Amino acid sequence: MRTRLSILCGLAAMMTMAAMSAAAGVQAVRQHAGDIQLAGVVPKNSAEQFELAFWNSVKDSKQVGDYEAYLKAYPKGRFAALARARIQQLKSAPQQVPAPAQKPVAQPAKPAESKPAREQAQARTANTSKAQQGKARPQQADATDDDQEEAPAPNTAGAMATVKDCEACPTMVALSPGPFTMGSNSSDPSEKPAHKVALRTPFAIGKYEVTVDQWRQCIKANVCPTVPLPDDAPGNIPMRDVSWDEAQLYIKWLTTASGKPYRLPTEAEWEYAARGGTATRYWWGDEMKGGNSSCKDCGQPWKMEEPPPVGSFPANPFGLHDMNGSVWEWVQDCWHSSYKGAPTDGSAWAEPNCQTRVIRGGSWREDGSYMLSTTRFKYDASVRQSQNGLRVARSLK
């Protein structure tokens, strides 16, 4: 027994020394990275700006996959050495010696599928300070998957009834088409020019982002890949760390399961849905206010490690939750650095052999400046990143 304990102590000491060495390496590389100076201000909508934004989104992560995603996108990037050192540090972190096995305690039966619950979300947000809450929140839509649930009345004639095509299918909100102004002339250059878009076809879009439980059903069908989320990850949080290519696998499975032509929303459909019939910077107005979206310093519930359950924040006027914040959402379109030449009928802006796709909406790790309805960014279609998820859509004609 004493010999075994000595061996375990020796192993723990060796792992601790390795972790300390890796930490020292990270510190040295971080100091070097801090010495990197860019020539003047990083221009918006430039390669440097996109790399910097990518790095800033993962630099505090504790997941190896986030740094591997950065290295895949920027193998010779200015933070590549720091990313490799951080990977070494995380892989060298000492592991706790497992405690002696104990007799398992019987647990109550777990529900077959976790569902978003308005009552739980309201209870969690009850302790939010008045400063964070701002004005009284509008009453949230009932976060259940009932087929006949009515969407909140929108400011314009946009939202209709909810749609649920199969037991495994996400609940969607049916939207009637209409005109709106897409983009912004006063924000990032990639959002210019603001232009009129007239959607011509009614479509349905996910009331919530695709959840972990919903993705797990696709895994059980041997279609979707297993994504490195914790085994105990709640089933009602948004699925993330999914590439655009992997999102297409989920879409394909859902189409087969439902018999309906599922897809990702087009970028124009996504912004139309996110605005909820409004023309302001955010769906709730022109000023950022806490308590409306899952983002850093934007109110509870929030934690750095993962986004809160879907439906934890109020729905927009179309009855859609978490369009701003939570996780970045893949859309169907190829990336273009501006809207010059973009379709004006709401269709996807696609091209052959497109390698870079658009993501929309910001995530829980970004601050309020990313919560604008016009916010957009890009990723390689094959890259996983722990802040990227999806919301499904399909045409209704």
Here the CATH number for the domain that contains residue 366 is 3.90.1580.10
Residue that finishes a domain, picked among 34, 58, 92: 92
What's the pLDDT tens digit per position in 273-328?
Answer: 999 999 999 999 999 999 999 999 999 999 998 999 999 999 999 999 999 999 99
Token representation of residue 193: 């020019």
Angle at the Cα of 376 from the Cα atoms of 44 and 275, rounded to 5 degrees = 130
Residue 98 covered by a domain: no
193 occurs within a structural domain: yes
C-beta separation of 93 from 17 below 8 A: no
What local confidence, expressed as pLDDT, does residue 274 receive? 98
Report pLDDT for 70.
Answer: 79
What is the three-class DSSP state of 358? strand
Instruction: Tell me: do 63 and 122 sit in the same domain.
Output: no
121 to 26, 135, 142, 268: CA distances (angstroms): 39, 17, 11, 30
Per-residue pLDDT, 394: 97
Domain total for the chain? 2
pLDDT score at 296: 94
**393-395 and 195-198: which strand pairing?**
unpaired
Q: Low-confidence residues of the chain, pLDDT below 70?
A: 1-47, 49, 94-160
Q: Is 393 among the domain residues? A: yes
SS3 label, residue 144: coil
* 28/168 same-domain check: no
Location of structure tokens 């990518």: 54
Side-chain half-sphere of 112: how many Cα atoms within 13 Å? 3
38 and 163 co-located in one domain: no
154 in the same domain as 55? no
Domain boundary among 58, 92, 126: 92
**Does residue 280 fall inside a structural domain?**
yes
**Distance (Å, rounded) from C-alpha 252 to C-alpha 247?**
9
Residue 106 lies in a domain: no
65 token code pair:
């996959």
Residues near 214 by Cβ (< 8 Å), separated by ≥ 6? 168, 170, 239
DSSP 107: -
| Structural domain boundaries, residue 250 | 118-397
Is residue 150 located within the same domain as residue 207? yes
- Calculate Rg over the CA atoms of the chain: 22
Do 286 and 365 fall into the same domain? yes
Is the CB of residue 36 less than 8 Å from the CB of residue 42?
no
Residue 114's pLDDT is: 39
Q: What is the pLDDT of residue 85?
A: 74
CA nearest to 176, candidates 164, 198, 159: 159
Residue 10's pLDDT is 55
The pLDDT value given to residue 121: 38
- 104 within a domain of the structure (yes/no): no
Nearest to 144 by CA among 179, 123, 170, 166: 170
Taking the model in full, what pTM does it have? 0.67
Torsion, CA 295, CA 297, CA 300, CA 304, rounded to 10: 70
251 and 337 both lie in a single domain: yes
